[in-house]
A and B are shown apart, each in its own frame.
Chain A
């Protein structure tokens, strides 16, 4: 059963969340990897989960795809991922890491096997994606470069007609060409508004123009959760000349850094705080990069969390 009856709400189209979590918790020994996560992801979104090492990103994803038990409530496509992983995997795909494809496997065997066990796998589509690469069907995975393994995995996954795709550091260790190609393929050949993608990465700049939603997670808690539109309207960055720094600081920036003799101040434009027009007087107002906001929001606390959990 994937449909949950909601008799009270009489709205004709009730968007069923793809992922819904309430009070998600997970402890490794005494460290809390997830410390009460509430999450609701609708269909057709691309959510980026950004966090320092050990923030709980992978644990959160593992809970979503049924790889780890957890406390609290979690439904993915209406199912309990821990109890129903094999059923769930008909509609959910994940790339847990680069280099998890078995090294002994031949490309043709990978195609045969996935076609054999997955009811929603379209082999012709996968062959089409592979035809664009230099990957030969007779090669074994261990003979492929890291970038080619990622291409192969992506070709397998994109040929599966899944509703949710979960990517945990899918481009770690790949060069910039492969990384760009990876996200381009994902957006152009795979994503549509009936699908949902959740991705974690440290290469924040790669995904800035890919995401529809953004989540910062730190020490098992959500530090920020907004759509990209909200992000763009809420945060602003101004490069301020030295003589205006004092005035700019009066608007209580959330972060300040020095670049080439200028101070770059990052502001939160929440209603009770500074207004965009006030900032315009100081200099050119820009949308900050996600990476800069990340440093601003997490900068102080991130270091302490490193290695505290996984």
Chain B
């Protein structure tokens, strides 16, 4: 037994001891960190998706040089698309994985701590409800997109090295592979991830709010009321405004942030979007984006306020 004989401070200790000076962001950073400790799926699921994709790609290397040698672009105007496809699919797979992880994370974020009563422990520490809720919101809005970016770039670099090695071994056309501007694709990925995070922000924030409010069945409470409203609108007025709004919120980011038709009015292939077709100006001035962000901020503010009242369930 090691006994702490000096464990009791002097009588005035509690008031006299200057507390460690802390940066204001420190509780926030630690709160994000603890979310990663608790929800390891945040990085394990994208890692697993990347692993599965790499496995498929490795197997495809066996026949790929032959395939690339005899490849005839379906659209001679865009010869890069066939080369880009593999790389683009890696990014898409990881983005979809991150979306699913983000949805299920958000639905549980403020519910789990009430269910297992640990909210009483978190609330016993000097971390405000606002810091807690913002830390939880930052997981789908910041952390997951960053993980997707880093993993996709890593996977794509490994893929390129392996592709070139395979082509050289098979005496394939290495020069043609180099015509694909991979870095430009990765800049596009970064842009796309920012766009998707901002566009989907109200979805995640709504799910967070529901997770802080519903006592059970968070998924149903999050999903059914909007669908029910859309159904009521259709039955009552035979219109589909709300349904279209919901659809636009899920998938509308591509039309808002990219010119999906080239200068001749031909729809472009989403596997490789040239920089010239990025439309950040239009995206940032789209009312839809700002209405969504306002809603997201409102949902977050409500979730912060709600957490003050919430205890274990």
A119 is contacted by which of B2, B9, B126 (Cβ under 8 Å)? B126
Which of B12, B31, B121 is packed against the most chain A CB atoms within 10 Å? B121
A249 to B45, CA, bound (A): 76
Give every chain A residue within 8 A of B26 (Cβ-Cβ).
116-117
Given A109-B37, A194-B13: A131 and B117 interface contact (C-beta under 8 Å): no
Which A residue's beta carbon lies closest to that of B122? Answer: A102
B17 is an interface residue with CB less than 8 A from chain A: yes
Say yes or no: B17 contacts A132, CB within 8 Å: no
A89 to B8, CA, bound (A): 20
A108-135 near B? 1/0 per residue, CB < 8 Å: 0100111011111000010011011000
Distance to closest chain B CB from A84 (angstroms): 9
B4 is an interface residue with CB less than 8 A from chain A: yes
Say yes or no: A67 contacts B123, CB within 8 Å: yes
Give every chain B residue within 8 A of A163 (Cβ-Cβ).
14-15
Give every chain A residue within 8 A of B34 (Cβ-Cβ).
109, 113
A170 to B140, CA, bound (A): 36
A96 is an interface residue with CB less than 8 A from chain B: yes
A106 to B11, CA, bound (A): 33
B117 is contacted by which of A87, A99, A116 (Cβ under 8 Å)? A99
Q: How large is the interface on A (under 10, 10 to 19, 20 to 34, 35 or more residues)?
A: 35 or more
Give every chain A residue within 8 A of B127 (Cβ-Cβ).
86, 89, 117
Say yes or no: A97 contacts B15, CB within 8 Å: no
Say yes or no: B19 contacts A120, CB within 8 Å: yes
Say yes or no: A192 contacts B120, CB within 8 Å: no
B72 is an interface residue with CB less than 8 A from chain A: no
Give every chain B residue within 8 A of A194 (Cβ-Cβ).
9-15
A190 is contacted by which of B8, B30, B117 (Cβ under 8 Å)? B8
Say yes or no: B27 contacts A96, CB within 8 Å: no
A181-225 near B? 1/0 per residue, CB < 8 Å: 000000011111111000000000000000000000000000000
A285 is an interface residue with CB less than 8 A from chain B: no
B20 is an interface residue with CB less than 8 A from chain A: yes
Say yes or no: B11 contacts A89, CB within 8 Å: no
B128 is an interface residue with CB less than 8 A from chain A: yes
Which of B37, B113, B120, B311 is packed against the most chain A CB atoms within 10 Å? B120
B33 is an interface residue with CB less than 8 A from chain A: yes
B124 is an interface residue with CB less than 8 A from chain A: yes
B22-35 near A? 1/0 per residue, CB < 8 Å: 10001101110110
B125 is contacted by which of A95, A112, A118 (Cβ under 8 Å)? A118
Give the number of residues in B that approach A within 8 Å (Cβ atoms): 46
Which B residue's beta carbon lies closest to that of A96? Answer: B120
A65 is contacted by which of B20, B29, B38, B124 (Cβ under 8 Å)? B124
Given A125-B7, A132-B2: A119 and B20 interface contact (C-beta under 8 Å): yes
A192 is contacted by which of B8, B17, B21 (Cβ under 8 Å)? B8
B239 is an interface residue with CB less than 8 A from chain A: no
A188 to B3, CA, bound (A): 10
Given A109-B34, A114-B125, A116-B33: A101 and B17 interface contact (C-beta under 8 Å): no
B37 is contacted by which of A97, A104, A161, A162 (Cβ under 8 Å)? A104
Give every chain A residue within 8 A of B237 (Cβ-Cβ).
none
B154 is an interface residue with CB less than 8 A from chain A: no
Give the residues from 254 to 289 in chain A that come closer than 8 angstroms, CB to CB, to chain B: none
Give every chain B residue within 8 A of A132 (Cβ-Cβ).
1-3
Given A89-B126, A116-B33: A100 and B120 interface contact (C-beta under 8 Å): yes
A128 is contacted by which of B2, B22, B116, B131 (Cβ under 8 Å)? B2
Give every chain B residue within 8 A of A161 (Cβ-Cβ).
9, 13-14, 17
Give every chain B residue within 8 A of A62 (Cβ-Cβ).
311
B63 is an interface residue with CB less than 8 A from chain A: no
Which A residue's beta carbon lies closest to that of B39? Answer: A104
Say yes or no: A117 contacts B125, CB within 8 Å: yes
A86 to B34, CA, bound (A): 18
Distance to closest chain B CB from A76 (angstroms): 14
Give every chain A residue within 8 A of B21 (Cβ-Cβ).
119
A155-197 near B? 1/0 per residue, CB < 8 Å: 0001001110000000000000000000000001111111100
Which A residue's beta carbon lies closest to that of B310? Answer: A67
Give the residues from 19 to 74 in chain B that come closer than 8 angstroms, CB to CB, to chain A: 19-22, 26-27, 29-31, 33-34, 37-38
B129 is an interface residue with CB less than 8 A from chain A: yes
Which of B8, B12, B20, B129 is packed against the most chain A CB atoms within 10 Å? B8
17 examples of A-B residue contacts, CB within 8 angstroms: A90-B19, A96-B124, A102-B113, A105-B37, A109-B34, A113-B33, A116-B29, A117-B30, A117-B126, A120-B19, A120-B20, A128-B7, A129-B4, A161-B9, A163-B14, A194-B11, A194-B14
12 extra interface residue pairs, beta carbon distance < 8 Å, beyond A101-B121, A113-B33: A85-B123, A85-B308, A89-B126, A113-B30, A116-B30, A117-B31, A119-B19, A161-B9, A161-B14, A189-B4, A194-B10, A194-B13
Top 6 nearest A-B pairs by Cβ distance?
A116-B30, A86-B128, A96-B120, A119-B19, A102-B118, A89-B126
